[in-house]
């Protein structure tokens, strides 16, 4: 185990592991969505499970934002190695748009089908449902309460594609000045650790203030201004710190402070939800403010402590690094299909929950290992790489 912060410009093996863990946590989170009271596509007969909202509440604010930061870091490394901005963006576009389109057309269709059944809407037989599902324009067929075709959980990939295009275009337009300016800015911030960790939190707070009216918008791009602006900032932050040894050293120095702060703010967040604090104030406002600072405290602690992970390459990490994107594309559809199927067996909560987790992991892993890895060039449709 390492005891020193990251220094250098080589591949970030530690961030590979963090990315793997974050994507696998999404499986657990979306299994949890099958049971909590929060709106989701389908629900277990055991829902709502009140105690489950607490770990979900603590996980929700940082699980996807941390992936946006990692996407920004990866973008910086990849762009610096690219021959040209247009060539890089063409490759990135193909890599991401194909699983988005295939996911909307095929992978997410069962999610919409079972959501309609859950809401008491008759989608017809599979042939008529699918014809209506793909029917242009992009809108809700008569009697349906969902817009189809939908990207559902693939919204993250859509946003990464759009925001990557913005950053790459800005980098090309400024002819390298963007990277130089960010490097100087990060180096200067890193001289004062408190300022370095406070800056990203405050920028997100300003974004929250200006886009507060869209903070609860769905992930449909248009109208989702808060998520778009904050996700752009998250990616830019990752893009800025990617190769800055001073930034990673400062994070290392602040690791325990960020850990304690995240614990304190997590407790405040839970107390806020139960209205023990701020009972006569605008609870929603204080919830989102607390959530913002809590999210950053957790993420900065994660990016600090992850530097302790071993940096040697290994076969397991390489395999899982290639696998997590296909896992992400497939997992939510598997959860919904298996969850609905398990509902007919009248299992107890614990048995159903554990079976759903195990079945989701097993089916997703088998689909990747047996099917996607042997699809050749077509693997890109499900987020895989051509391994032939």
Least confident of 141-150, 261-270, 323-332: 141-150
Kindly state whether residue 171 falls inside one of the protein's structural domains.
Answer: yes
SS3 309: coil
User: Both tokens of residue 222?
Assistant: 């248009």
Kindly state whether residue 334 falls inside one of the protein's structural domains.
Answer: yes
The number of folded domains in the chain is 1
What does R_g of the chain's alpha carbons equal in angstroms? 21
How far apart (Å, rounded) are the C-alpha atoms in residues 364 and 239?
31
Residues 6+ apart with CB under 8 A from 64: 156
Helices (H) and strands (E) in the chain, counts: 14, 0
Give the distance from CA 239 to its chain's centroid.
17
SS3 387: coil
User: Global pTM?
Assistant: 0.94
pLDDT digits 0-9 by tens, 181-223: 999 999 999 999 999 999 999 999 999 999 988 988 888 888 9
Q: Are 129 and 160 in contact (CB under 8 A)?
A: no
Kindly state whether residue 234 falls inside one of the protein's structural domains.
Answer: yes
User: Both tokens of residue 25?
Assistant: 């946590």
Q: Which residue has the tokens 């067996």?
A: 345
Determine if residue 125 is left, alpha or beta; phi over 0 gives left, psi from -120 to 50 gives alpha, anything else beta: beta
How far apart (Å, rounded) are the C-alpha atoms in residues 304 and 256?
9
How far apart (Å, rounded) are the C-alpha atoms in residues 28 and 82?
36
Kindly state whether residue 122 falls inside one of the protein's structural domains.
Answer: no
Kindly state whether residue 131 falls inside one of the protein's structural domains.
Answer: no
pLDDT digits 0-9 by tens, 85-127: 999 999 999 999 999 999 999 999 999 999 999 999 988 888 8
How far apart (Å, rounded) are the C-alpha atoms in residues 183 and 342?
52
pLDDT digits 0-9 by tens, 76-85: 999 999 889 9
Domain, as residue range, for 192: 13-108+151-382
Kindly state whether residue 132 falls inside one of the protein's structural domains.
Answer: no
pLDDT digits 0-9 by tens, 156-184: 999 999 999 999 999 999 998 999 999 99
How far apart (Å, rounded) are the C-alpha atoms in residues 126 and 121?
14
CA angle centred on 229, ends 226 and 235, rounded to 5°: 130
Q: What is the pLDDT of residue 4?
A: 56
Kindly state whether residue 312 falls inside one of the protein's structural domains.
Answer: yes
How far apart (Å, rounded) are the C-alpha atoms in residues 25 and 7?
28
Residue 140 per-residue DSSP state? P
How far apart (Å, rounded) are the C-alpha atoms in residues 146 and 64?
23
Closest CA to 167 of 108, 258, 79, 291: 79
Kindly state whether residue 295 falls inside one of the protein's structural domains.
Answer: yes
How far apart (Å, rounded) are the C-alpha atoms in residues 287 and 273?
7
Please report how many Cα atoms fall inside a 13 Å half-sphere around the Cα of residue 13, on the Cβ side: 15
CA distances from 55 to 267, 269, 283, 286, 359 (A): 12, 12, 20, 20, 21
What would the DSSP string read from start to end of 89-122? HHHHHHHHHHHHHHIIIIITHHHHHHHHHHTT--
Per-residue pLDDT for 281 more than 60? no
pLDDT band at 271 (very low <50, low <70, confident <90, very high): confident
Closest CA to 253 of 191, 182, 172: 191
How far apart (Å, rounded) are the C-alpha atoms in residues 150 and 220?
9
């Amino acid at each position: 185990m390492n005891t020193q912060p990251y220094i250098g410009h080589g591949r970030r093996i530690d961030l590979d592991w963090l990315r793997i863990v974050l994507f696998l946590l999404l499986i657990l989170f979306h299994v949890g969505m099958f049971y909590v009271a929060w709106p989701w596509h389908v629900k277990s007969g055991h829902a709502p499970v009140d105690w489950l909202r607490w770990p979900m509440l603590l996980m929700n604010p940082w699980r996807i934002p941390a992936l946006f930061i990692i996407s920004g870091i990866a973008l910086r490394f990849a762009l610096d190695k690219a021959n040209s901005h247009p060539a890089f963006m063409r490759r990135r576009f193909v890599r991401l748009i194909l699983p988005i389109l295939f996911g909307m057309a095929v992978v997410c269709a069962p999610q919409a089908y079972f959501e309609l059944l859950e809401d008491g809407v008759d989608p017809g037989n599979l042939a008529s449902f699918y014809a209506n599902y793909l029917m242009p324009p992009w809108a809700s067929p008569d009697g349906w309460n969902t817009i189809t075709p939908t990207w559902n959980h693939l919204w993250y990939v859509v946003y990464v594609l759009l925001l990557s295009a913005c950053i790459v275009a800005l980098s090309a337009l400024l002819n390298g000045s963007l990277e130089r300016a960010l490097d100087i800015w990060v180096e200067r911030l890193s001289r004062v650790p408190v300022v370095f960790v406070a800056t990203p939190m405050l920028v997100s707070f300003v974004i929250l203030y200006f886009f507060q009216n869209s903070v609860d918008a769905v992930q449909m791009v248009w109208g989702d201004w808060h998520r778009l602006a904050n996700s752009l900032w998250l990616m830019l932050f990752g893009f800025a710190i990617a190769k800055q040894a001073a930034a990673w050293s400062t994070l290392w120095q602040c690791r325990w402070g960020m850990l304690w702060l995240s614990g304190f703010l997590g407790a405040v967040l839970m107390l806020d939800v139960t209205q023990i604090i701020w009972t006569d104030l605008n609870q929603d406002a204080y919830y989102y403010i607390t959530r913002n600072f809590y999210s950053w405290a957790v993420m900065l602690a994660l990016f600090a402590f992850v530097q302790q992970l071993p940096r040697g390459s290994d076969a397991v990490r390489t395999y899982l690094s290639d696998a997590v994107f296909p896992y992400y594309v497939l997992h939510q559809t598997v959860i919904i299909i298996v969850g609905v199927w398990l509902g007919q067996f009248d299992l107890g909560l614990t048995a159903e929950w554990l079976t759903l987790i195990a079945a989701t992991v097993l089916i997703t892993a088998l689909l990747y290992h047996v099917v996607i890895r042997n699809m050749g060039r077509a693997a890109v449709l499900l987020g895989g790489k051509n391994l032939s």
